[in-house]
Amino acid sequence: MRRIRCHVLLTLVIVGAMLLTACGATPEPTEPPAPTEPAQATQAAEPTEAAPESTEPVTLRVGTTYIWDTANPAIGWYNYTLRYLLYDTLVEEAGISNFVPGLAEDWDFGEDGLVWTFKIREGATFHDGTPCTAEDVAWSLNWTIENEIETFAFYLANFAEIVALDPTTLQVTLSDPVGNMEYLLMYVWILPRSVWEGMTADDILEFEDLSAGIGTGPYKLVEWVEGEYLILEANKDYWRGAPAMDRVVWQEFATEDAAVQALIAGEIDVIASDTIPSTAIQTLEAAENIEVPIMESTAIDELILNSHENGSQPASLNDPAVRLAIAHAIDKQQIVNVAYLGYADAASVVIPRSMGDWHNSDVQDIPFDIAEGNRILEEAGYVDSDNDGVREDADGNPLEYRLYATEDATPVRILEIISDGLSQIGISAPPQPMDEDSLIGLYPDFDFDLIYWGWGLDPDPDFAMLIFTCDQREEGGWSDSGYCNEEFEEMYLEQAVTVDHEARRELIWQMQEKLFNERPYIVLTYAKTVQAYRSDRFTGFGLEAGDILWKASFLPAQPVQ
């Protein structure tokens, strides 16, 4: 589940969500609903007890520092957690690398792995009342491919033919077998032809009407004021049954601390996962009537080293010796201890340990070693000839790099740690925090040297590898490092059509090792997912997917077994 790039360029990744004025102030939506009293329950996928009956509408208020960039799913990269409440997919995630039926009740495939048949649920409808049959699903998937929808068309790269055999049977023919079909389909929204049919490519890119939010999901988008709030209302005709909550209100705060104070004061009910600074965790844990789930995640944080051959980075940053020295100068454990207060693990390769055997456990991380960093640079000919504390290359150019991140508290602390370590090996990289829009503006020209960033990766390793492929460097693509390597490209294409798990895992391990050695990223931490909610108002959140705002928390109450 993509964090949707909490910090992404991509217009992300972020991730969900993530989500990223004055302290304690809460923006007021039009006639905002008051928090429900007494406590109401939102059911997990398999609750242990039924929600208490109430005639009062149940409203959940979510605090975040960033809601999303657009209602248009064709160009909107942010906050997939929110978008999953609007749209359904054929397959859904229920925990890391665990997939369950969505709009497709079940599926099977032929012996050659090329023809897949999906049974589409009967009775599903879009928010505007139009039906969602196998014909509509086929139209939506074909529309996604034909219009090259940037946000999710790449998941359908091997789909050669998509047809409806009857109103409930969808047949997909692949150009090559794939070993991760369920994963590929869990990120492809099913959209209505009643909204999107007949639009040109330019129309699609420019479409900003709230009807872009129409899907078959459990909630309807009814209002959005950019920078302030967003309101969803329950889809009472949802095919799973009426959702557990009647209304969900996302409220945007200027700072993470303001959102934390609003939760403690009872002005909101939940804080989105990327909105809790580590410094606030102990305060929240000690607060009355607040629960703080801490869960494993697929999140990574990294230092991006500009790797584009036409980027604006100094030539010295392309030197493998300089990159290795930088890796030795970063104290990852200090980042874990100081910036995350222990709620993360020091990282090595791009795939986190939470993803099981996809993680290359054979790669040994570069140790924090200032002396070794200095030795490497000295041996490579980078010396401080004028004794100003900054080394120069053979042409006298100082090792001075631009070091960027967003302005939130945790990234700023991490910049300071990185900058301090680099200064100890003769590299000048003073922290330069900036607002996220300005950071994103550095692309697609790759006009930077070093950026601290983060991803919430998909539960399959394909996406983590995709972001390093050459075509993703184009405007609108997912590449944030500018990395492009022919050998890596060949391995990516091979793993995409490798069905045998062990054979594919071996390729993924080789790709991780190659990235580790060439360092378009220096992966810093595997962060935990930390969220917080008012336990006096809501209980029974679904935690299986590592996010209390994941779809399972909003589904209808299930009968007690």
pLDDT for the residue numbered 558: 41
- Residue 459: CB atoms within 10 A of its CB come to 25
Cβ-based burial of 330 (10 A; exposed 0-12, middle 13-18, buried ≥19): buried
Give how far the C-alpha of residue 47 lies from the chain's centroid of Cα atoms, to the nearest Å. 27
The amino acid sitting at 68 is W
Coil/strand/helix, residue 86 = helix
Task: Give the Cα separation of 14 and 78 in Å (integer).
Answer: 6
Residue 413's φ and ψ, nearest 5 degrees, are: -60, -40
The amino acid sitting at 312 is S
In 184-271, DSSP assigns E strands to 219-225, 229-234, 247-252, 270-271
Task: Give the Cα separation of 322 and 374 in Å (integer).
Answer: 10
Task: Give the Cα separation of 523 and 76 in Å (integer).
Answer: 26
Coil/strand/helix, residue 512 = helix
Of the candidates 271, 288, 269, 274, the one whose C-alpha atom is nearest the C-alpha of residue 32 is 269
Q: Using omega within 30 degrees of 0 as the cis cutoff, is the peptide bond preceding 38 cis? A: yes
Structure tokens at 14: 């972020």
Beta bridge partners of 107: 118
In terms of DSSP H, where are the helices of 148-280?
A: 181-185, 193-196, 201-206, 256-264
- Residue 545: CB atoms within 10 A of its CB come to 25
Task: Give the Cα separation of 68 and 504 in Å (integer).
Answer: 35
Give how far the C-alpha of residue 141 lies from the chain's centroid of Cα atoms, to the nearest Å. 22
pLDDT for the residue numbered 44: 30
pLDDT for the residue numbered 78: 83
pLDDT for the residue numbered 175: 95
Encode 21-56 in three state secondary structure: CCCCCCCCCCCCCCCCCCCCCCCCCCCCCCCCCCCC
Sheet holding 290-291, edge to edge: 219-225, 229-234, 247-252, 59-64, 270-271, 532-534, 290-291
DSSP label at residue 318 = G
pLDDT for the residue numbered 549: 75
pLDDT for the residue numbered 528: 87
pLDDT for the residue numbered 11: 28
pLDDT for the residue numbered 41: 32
pLDDT single digits (tens) 530-550? 889 999 988 766 555 456 677
pLDDT for the residue numbered 305: 98
pLDDT single digits (tens) 63-73? 999 999 999 99
Q: Which residues of the chain have pLDDT under 50?
A: 1-52, 545, 558-561
Buried-state track 84-111, b at ≥16 Cβ within 10 A, e below 16: bbbbbbbbbbbbbbebebbbbeebebee
pLDDT for the residue numbered 112: 87
pLDDT for the residue numbered 77: 81
pLDDT for the residue numbered 276: 87
Cβ-based burial of 117 (10 A; exposed 0-12, middle 13-18, buried ≥19): middle
What lies within 8 Å, CB to CB, of 260 at 6+ separation is 271, 276, 277, 280, 283, 284, 532
The residue assigned the tokens 């990235």 is 515
